[in-house]
Amino acid sequence: MKNDLEVGNRIRAIREELNMTRSVFSENINISESYLTQLELGHKSLGMNTLLAICKYTNCSADYLLFGKEENNQLNHRIIRILSDLSPNALNLAYEMIRSIKNHSDF
């Protein structure tokens, strides 16, 4: 089905952006590697539990996974990847900077 392939392509793109193998990614979302492969190839439909696991693990929205609605999803994901590599002190500084920008933003 066309929609299953599109969803699978988005899952694969997210996994590759995280620089993860299918084995590691599937382990982190608690599914088998073969099921992940079938999802990415569009041979299987995404179940609700797997959808929720992927969203929770990757911080991607269900709207993005299912319908491709970006709404800053990729930018958010890239920011989260950067933040996850910071030391606790640097992370606190980044938080304060973001909070300051938000408080002084006119948009």
Q: Fill in the DSSP letter of residue 61.
A: -
Give me the pLDDT at residue 63, please. Answer: 86
Distances in Å between the Cα of 67 and the Cα atoms of 7, 22, 59, 78 are 8, 22, 16, 20
**Maximum pairwise Cα distance, the chain:** 48
Per-residue model confidence as pLDDT tens digits over 86-101: 898 998 998 899 888 8
**Is pLDDT larger for residue 70 or for residue 66?**
66
Per-residue model confidence as pLDDT tens digits over 16-36: 988 899 999 999 999 999 999
- Fold classified for 2-104: 434 Repressor (Amino-terminal Domain) (1.10.260)
Q: How many CB atoms neighbour CB 91 within 10 A?
A: 13
**CA 19 – CA 13 distance, rounded (Å):** 10
With 0.75 as the threshold, say if the pTM is over it.
Answer: no
**CA 86 – CA 58 distance, rounded (Å):** 17
